[in-house]
Structure 1
Amino acid sequence: MTVPEGTMARFGSVRRRHIWSIVQRGPTEVGYAYFRARRRRRNLADDESLLSESDQLALSGAFDLTEDVLAANARLIERYQRAAPFQVDSIQWFLPYFRHAYFGGVHTLLRFAEHFARAHDVENRFHCYDVAPGAVAGMASRVAGAFPSLAAATFTSSACSLEELPPCDAAIATLWSSAYPVMHLRRARSKLYFVQDNEPQFYPAGAASALAEATYRFGLPGIVNTPGLADLYRSYDNPAVSFVPAVDLDRYHPPPAPRAPGEPLRVFFYARPGSPRNAFGLGIAALTKLKRTYRERVEIVCAGETWNPGQLGLHGQIRNLGVLSSLDEVAALYRSCDIGLVFMHTKHPSYQPLEFMASGMATVSNVNPATQWLMRDGENCLLTPPLPSATAERLGRLVEDAELRARIAAAGLVQVRRFGWEEQIERVWRAICRQDESFALPPLTAPLRSAAPRG
């Protein structure tokens, strides 16, 4: 490409080529480029920001606390930890925007709210801190559809200031971003943190992951989903009560009769390309190997997110059902499958292994030290290193060995039948009301006596 010299002679060759490429796009693009350059020279914000989304979060001003706020919260938390048992009559939940009330984390915290209202007459209020006023009605409708007893709950949007929220006995953060407004809230008798995953792992190392991890140092007593995740939260010197997620055994249960002999074995994969922690690419690579080996002996079905197998050259080899319309439809799909594959590369196992086990499927998942309380390799599941060939080999063992498949499925069913939601939520309720020592301050340690001889 020949770049005219003229007035551009003062620029280097790389810069001249860049300017010439803009000029060739026409006068409109030249004008845009001029004003962008002018704004940069004047240190004004540019629509084409070089900032990552992570850094934009840091610059938003929404995620910051002064030393005075931290100190005031530390005093409030200490008073709560020293308090005698008390009755919780009102809970202010800080709820982020969601599209689907049946996804695991949202559904779980709504289940807790519903139980508190039904069993203990708690007034639930939901402050949708990052939701515009026009979207709150839709969220309230989705909540009422999933839990009709919450239809009378109060919902407020981001337009409602924290000062406008009425006093409450407990304020509960439900996502790392909600912990910041909870810390700024002034009229709460207690403050808690409903932790359902190691959320700093949702982001690459940077501002967002640091801001998320900072919330684990706020000292908020944690209501933590699974014992493994609770161990992590306690490692930040936080008090915590954990619960084991239960399964609705009326909905998720094995099929009434075994599948007809001679039918292909059906392998299910929880496939969410938009959630890196679910290792979509790793699963597809393993399943491609499995299909290449077993051909018509296996049928591979996916769900969890909308995507097109044809884009990956897998049309006719893998079928994706996308996001199913109801939990009953999900349960029916699981009952129709023989083997379930799910990856979870954070500190929570996800709900899929539990639901697979309850539905009579043999489960395959990744090795994860934080999920050893649930997943026992060779007993109630098969665990695999994060390698496509190793994953395909575990799946292949279950395809080949009907006895192993049946034994793994039976042990999984025994595992999930050990726990029920009522007992797990009541454990948390006792901790919130200070009826046990889950959130108590540790006893003071007596000072060490000097080993020096007395005079």
Structure 2
Amino acid sequence: MSGSALGIVGKLRREGARGVVRRAVRRAYQHLDAGALDFGLLPEDIADSTRLVLPPAPPVPDGRPLVIGWLTTPPAAGSGGHTTMFRMVEALEEAGHRCVVLLYDRHHGSTAAQAAVVRSAWPQVRAEVRSVDDGFDGLDACVATSWESAHVLASRATRPLHRFYFIQDYEPLFSPHGSEHQLAADTYRFGFTNIALGEMVHRRLRTDCGVDSEMVPFSCDTTVYSFSNRGERSGIVFYAKPGQARRGHLLNCLALAEFHRRHPEQPIHVYGWSTPDLGVPVVDHGRLTAEELNALYNRCIAGLAMSFTNISLVAEEMLAAGCVPVVNSSRDSRADLDNPRVGWALPTPGGIADALSAAVEAADVPARAAAAAASVRSDDWAIPREGVRRIIERTVRGEAPVDWVATADAAGTGSNRS
């Protein structure tokens, strides 16, 4: 047997067939530069704030509905960012305005198929869905919804147009310091009207980039996520999404191994992406609808809701169902959910396992679940929806914006935490 064959046999014994295949795929990935396919922009769509000259748009007179574009990447059913965006689209539509969803897909997928996903996953949205390749004609305003779509709005929409940027996270943190990090940060300097979702984004824009933004607060979908189980609970739940570094997948897996060592009697429920190599026994639920997910949260004592950028929507959705979310403790994650019912954890495998263990070992789990559910915000996205609607309307009409967080606090409709 040749030396190369012996080497392959040795690797098969040490790593198994799966490990050998992974090595081969990685080599092919690197050799073919397949990572370039993950870059979300075509080179010609990259804008540069130091060279950008965008014509100002005149105010639109009051008395007629607005036509507002929402520029986004093709959504997948269940996408939290797209769901939040569509909540804002609904708010504008309910106010009598017409919305148009403009899809940007650098890989030129089928717009008809992508529109069908929107119709199926978000049936309440009435907006026309079309490709951004069809242009911006007929729009009074357009809203970018990610750093990629901000570049497209800057580079392609060259006629007078009111430009907005609905910013749900500080997206430079999605990438290591390098090209994509800087391209994402530059979008905040394009001169759009920045609308920040939450204090973390608002503060980061000001301190890291030196730009202003209008801020609307976070919220929680309490229509779907609600408290129904006042009895006993068991186990923990984990949303597996290994492709997103900001969700701390490796830390989660290491913490689960330690938690299982301490508490083998507690079931570990997993949903989301397929993860066959977690290293601990799990109940794999695959993809779940929001209603199915709420039922699962109502069965569990605690869940993992790690996020190393803005706070994940999952954390407060768990709380609403009485499931204690374990979240990495940081200034960024606490900025929009400074709630003592959260299992704030030091972001190490042991620190996360400590927080999970504390939740399942706590006395009177049903009472703690009820207290967790009672701590969530009560507006069900009404305040941010109203804020985004009024910011867009007032800006396009030429009026001064309003501090919507102060307005909500004065009305007593802000967060409800205990």
TM-score (norm 1): 0.73
CA distance in 2, matches of 1:431, 1:212: 23
CA distance in 2, matches of 1:420, 1:397: 29
Q: Over aligned residue pairs, what C-alpha RMSD do you find? A: 2.9
Gaps of 5+ in 2: 1-29, 404-418
CA distance in 2, matches of 1:242, 1:369: 18
Residue identity in the other structure for 1:91: I
Q: Per the alignment, do residues 191 and 320 of structure 1 end up closer, same or farther by CA in structure 2, a change over 3 Å counting?
A: same
CA distance in 2, matches of 1:57, 1:275: 15
Q: Per the alignment, do residues 51 and 200 of structure 1 end up closer, same or farther by CA in structure 2, a change over 3 Å counting?
A: same
Residue identity in the other structure for 1:302: V
* 2:279 is aligned with 1:313: yes
Q: Partner of 1:402: helix, strand, or coil?
A: coil
* 2:227 is aligned with 1:251: no
- Alignment-derived partner of residue 294 in structure 1: 263
* 2:296 is aligned with 1:333: yes
**Deviation string, structure 1 residues 358-384 (Cα, Å, up to 9, x no partner):** 00112211012023244446x221211
* 2:294 is aligned with 1:323: no
Residue identity in the other structure for 2:378: R
- Maintained 8 Å contact 1:91/1:170: yes
* 2:243 is aligned with 1:274: yes
Q: Per the alignment, do residues 87 and 343 of structure 1 end up closer, same or farther by CA in structure 2, a change over 3 Å counting?
A: farther
CA distance in 1, matches of 2:296, 2:100: 35
- Alignment-derived partner of residue 84 in structure 2: 108
- Alignment-derived partner of residue 342 in structure 1: 305
- Equivalent pairs: percent with the same residue? 26
Q: Per the alignment, do residues 215 and 252 of structure 1 end up closer, same or farther by CA in structure 2, a change over 3 Å counting?
A: same
CA distance in 2, matches of 1:60, 1:127: 19
Aligned residues: 368
Residue identity in the other structure for 1:105: G
TM-score (norm 2): 0.79
Q: Per the alignment, do residues 243 and 56 of structure 1 end up closer, same or farther by CA in structure 2, a change over 3 Å counting?
A: closer
- Alignment-derived partner of residue 129 in structure 2: 155
Equivalent positions of 1:144-293 (< 5 A) are 144-151=119-126, 153-157=127-131, 159-160=133-134, 162=135, 165-184=136-155, 185-235=157-207, 236-259=209-232, 265-293=234-262
- Maintained 8 Å contact 1:240/1:438: no
Q: 2:390 is matched with which residue: 430, 435, 438?
A: 430
Q: Per the alignment, do residues 57 and 149 of structure 1 end up closer, same or farther by CA in structure 2, a change over 3 Å counting?
A: closer
Q: Partner of 2:263: helix, strand, or coil?
A: helix
- Maintained 8 Å contact 1:268/1:341: yes
Gaps of 5+ in 1: 1-46, 440-455
Residue identity in the other structure for 1:60: P
Residue identity in the other structure for 2:182: A
Q: 1:420 is matched with which residue: 362, 369, 380?
A: 380
Displacement of 1:104: 0.7
Q: Per the alignment, do residues 409 and 229 of structure 1 end up closer, same or farther by CA in structure 2, a change over 3 Å counting?
A: farther
